[in-house]
Each structure stands twice: as structure tokens, then as C-alpha cells.
């Protein structure tokens, strides 16, 4: 980067959100450089379930999760856990999470999430067409399954909230579920199918394709760890961990679970935590999967990718430093065998990744406190892929001085 001062935008982060934002800025005529500590698709963008979960408008922080959390937290391999070694450190975040569970806050978060979901859905297919990736889109829906009448009835308030926002779904009995997805264990007596739940053929391959498109359109990707940001006359100075100084007129911070560390250097304390996600990807012939199946009571999904069958999910709030606990992957795979009796568990590849999560389940999208020239785009939790095209649109609007496509104040990085 010899002529760094001529760069319009530096995007920090080469995951799906960062690259989408870089491409959107590039399409507005801006020169863009992407900087990432490991390169494209190295983090959560590589190993997620591959879903565009546009119907997933309800925040994780909710009264319902407060009822389930005590039971889940007692199971170290369950859907939600906090490793004892991290419990004290995460306590302030958990307090904010608890506050976000009030009915008023949940209603506000649901409305904001819905607007971002609607924008992301409307932006997705034009973005895929622009980047030559539309053939990777799959529209096979999602089947949420329930163990018995009680679990199904407990889900109905959530579906009522989705109905109020115009989301299509169909409640099914066992026979109806079998027509959509044969082979589900009889313990699951009820289900809900959402046809508007899309997926991508493979999230890693998709993110790498975005990187290829960005570079073919004149963009640069540089591997470097960013240590600090500093406003300077007419722009922003980016200091790397090895002491280099990069400059641009504007910076977009989209470094996923590492973003809060960089934001702190410019004066913003953002309560970002890490949902450590686990999965196992089995060979494609492991099961005849026709739609994504969500086992909500157990906190995981089974997804069909072009590269295999992925069994994963759950939430482990364990930060960035603790070693992976792959017993969580094994526990989900064991359950998947019981829930889908025909599933062949052999030949799987395990993975763990960091999902950046804020207490109210909304991302941080907006400008830094210290300067209008730094724009934040991080904290999407398990919805980074889903909201990537919508976030990219908002970032491009902010970079070019246009009114954002939706109201961005609910996503303000300074809202905490």
C-alpha cells in the first residue's frame, strides 16, 4: 500500500459482513482495501450453518430464554453454557443480557431486527447477482420440530409475533412433517415449516467467492492484524500489530468477535461477547436431508450444504482464549443420530468458531463516537450471513452520505 492516502475505505475484516460491505462500497465508486488478521473466510463465516434466517426475528434475550436458561446452564454440553473459568468475566454482559429480556426491550429489539431482516432479504438476490453467486442460493425452507404438545404450545407466542410481522409459516403434525422431511424420530410430534428460510450452498465457498469478486473488481486484500485506530486530518490512521501505519479517508470495522478490542482504541466500549459455535460436517451421503431441521429445544440444527451435512449450533459464552470443548460437537452429533435415526455419523470434521454477540441480539451498525469516519458493522451473533447484504447496504449509505435505507439508531454502537 504505497499510496495509502489515496484509499477511500479500509474495511477491517474479511468475513462475510466485511467483504459484503467492501463490495457495496466498491459499487459506489470508492477504492477499497480489506485488512484481515488471517485472510478471507477464516472465522465464523467459514463454519456457520449456511442459513439466511430471515424469519429469525426474535432476540435470544427474551423472557422465554430466562425460563430455560437455568436448566440449560446446569448441562455443560447443553444448548447454552458458560464455562466456569469464564463465569466471572462474563457477569457484566450477562447482567445486560438479563436487562434486555424485559418485554419492552424485546418488543423494541424485535421491531429493529425485523426491519434489518426485511432489508437484508430485499438486498440479497441483487447482491448475489452482482457478485456472480446467485447459483449458490438454496430455497429449501426450515422445519422446526417439537417434542410433544407442551413444547409446541410454548412456541406459539413466538409464532404469533412472527405472524404480526408478516412471516409465512405452517404448523404441521407428524404426517405433515414426514412429507417435507422423512426420517424424523417419532418423539417429535409437531413441527413448523417456514418456506422463507434460505441457505447458501457452502458459507466458506460463498465468502471466498466474494473475496474473488472484490479483487477482480480492483479491490485489495491485505493480511495484517489491526492494533489501533486514530483519527487524523482528513481520514483515519490504522496501526497494525507489526507497527505499520495504513491510512484511508474512512474505515469500516467489521472484524467480528475481535471488533470490540479495536473499537476500544478509539474510545468506544462495546459489550461484545463471543458465542462459541460448534459443529460437525458429515459427508453428503450421511442423510437424505431435504430442508434444514431445527431442534430448538436442544439448540442445534442440521443443514444440507453442497459439501456435506452440517450438525451444529448451541451457545457457549466462553470468550476468545479458552480451548475448544469438542465434546459439545460430539454431544450434538449423538443427539442428531437419535433424532434422525438414519443419519450416518462416520467421517465427520469438527469445527469451532467465534460468533460476535451483543446483549440485546442486535448488531452494532453506525459511526464511532470519536469520528464520523469510522463506521462499525459487527456483533451480528449467529445472523452474520443472514444480515450481510442488508448491513452492506447500510454501510455503503453511510460512507457516501446517503440517508440509510432503514433507521439505524436502534443499532447504534453507543446504545449501551
**Residues 40-68: what's their mean pLDDT?**
88
CA–CA separation, 179 vs 198, rounded Å?
19
- DSSP assignment letter at 12: E
What pLDDT shows up at residue 129? 98
- Whether 2 shows a pLDDT value over 50: the answer reads no
What pLDDT shows up at residue 6? 64
Least reliable range by pLDDT among 61-70, 123-132, 191-200: 61-70
What pLDDT shows up at residue 38? 95
What pLDDT shows up at residue 64? 75
Residue pLDDT, tens place only, 370-416: 999 999 999 999 999 999 999 999 999 999 999 999 999 999 999 99
- Exposure string of 312-321, with b = 16+ CB inside 10 Å and e = fewer, is bbbbbbbbee
Residue pLDDT, tens place only, 74-112: 677 878 888 888 989 999 999 999 999 999 999 999 999
Residue 58 and residue 114 in contact, taking contact as beta carbons nearer than 8 Å: no
Mean of the per-residue pLDDT values of the chain: 94
The residues that bridge with 194 in the sheet, in sequence order, are 142
- Whether 1 shows a pLDDT value over 50: the answer reads no
| Residues contacting 326, CB < 8 A, separation 6+ | 278, 350, 352
Percent residues over pLDDT 70 in the chain: 97
Residue pLDDT, tens place only, 225-242: 999 999 998 899 999 999
CA–CA separation, 377 vs 17, rounded Å?
7
CA torsion 247→248→254→255, rounded to 10°? Answer: -10
Amino acid at each position: 500500500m504505497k499510496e495509502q492516502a489515496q484509499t477511500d475505505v479500509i474495511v477491517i475484516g474479511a468475513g462475510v459482513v466485511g467483504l459484503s460491505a467492501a463490495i457495496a462500497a466498491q459499487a459506489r465508486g470508492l477504492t477499497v482495501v480489506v485488512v484481515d488478521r488471517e485472510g478471507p473466510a477464516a472465522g465464523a463465516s467459514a463454519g456457520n450453518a449456511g442459513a439466511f434466517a430471515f424469519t429469525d426475528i426474535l432476540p435470544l434475550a427474551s423472557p422465554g430464554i430466562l425460563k430455560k436458561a437455568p436448566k440449560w446452564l446446569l448441562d455443560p454440553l447443553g444448548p447454552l453454557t458458560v464455562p466456569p473459568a469464564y463465569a466471572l468475566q462474563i457477569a457484566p454482559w450477562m447482567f445486560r443480557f438479563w436487562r434486555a429480556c424485559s418485554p419492552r426491550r424485546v418488543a423494541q429489539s424485535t421491531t429493529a431486527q425485523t426491519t434489518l431482516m426485511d432489508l437484508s432479504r430485499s438486498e440479497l438476490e441483487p447482491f448475489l447477482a452482482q457478485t456472480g453467486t446467485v447459483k449458490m442460493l438454496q430455497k429449501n425452507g426450515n422445519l422446526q420440530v417439537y417434542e410433544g404438545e407442551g413444547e409446541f404450545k410454548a412456541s406459539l407466542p413466538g409464532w404469533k409475533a412472527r405472524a404480526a410481522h408478516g412471516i409465512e409459516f405452517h404448523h404441521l403434525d407428524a404426517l405433515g412433517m414426514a412429507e417435507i422431511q422423512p426420517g424424523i424420530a417419532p418423539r417429535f410430534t409437531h413441527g413448523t415449516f417456514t418456506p422463507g428460510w434460505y441457505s447458501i450452498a457452502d458459507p466458506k465457498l460463498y465468502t471466498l467467492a466474494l473475496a474473488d469478486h472484490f479483487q477482480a473488481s480492483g479491490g485489495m486484500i491485505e493480511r495484517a492484524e489491526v492494533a489501533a485506530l486514530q483519527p487524523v486530518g482528513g481520514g483515519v490512521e490504522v496501526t497494525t500489530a507489526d507497527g505499520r501505519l495504513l491510512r484511508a479517508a474512512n474505515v469500516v470495522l467489521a472484524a467480528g468477535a475481535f471488533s470490540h478490542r479495536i473499537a476500544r482504541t478509539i474510545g468506544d466500549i462495546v459489550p461484545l461477547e463471543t458465542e462459541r459455535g460448534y459443529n460437525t460436517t458429515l459427508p453428503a451421503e450421511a442423510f437424505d436431508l431435504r430442508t434444514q431441521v431445527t431442534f430448538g429445544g436442544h439448540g442445534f440444527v442440521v443443514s444440507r450444504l453442497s459439501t456435506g451435512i452440517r450438525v451444529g449450533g448451541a451457545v457457549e459464552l466462553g470468550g476468545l482464549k479458552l480451548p475448544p470443548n469438542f465434546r459439545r460437537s460430539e454431544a450434538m452429533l449423538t443427539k442428531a443420530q437419535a433424532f434422525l435415526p438414519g443419519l450416518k455419523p462416520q467421517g465427520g470434521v469438527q469445527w469451532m468458531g467465534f460468533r460476535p454477540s451483543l446483549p440485546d441480539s442486535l448488531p452494532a451498525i453506525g459511526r464511532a463516537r470519536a469520528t464520523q469516519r469510522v463506521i462499525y458493522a459487527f456483533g451480528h451473533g449467529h445472523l452474520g450471513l443472514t444480515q450481510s447484504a442488508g448491513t452492506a447496504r447500510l454501510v455503503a449509505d453511510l460512507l457516501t452520505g446517503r440517508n440509510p435505507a432503514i433507521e439505524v439508531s436502534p443499532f447504534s454502537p453507543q446504545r449501551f
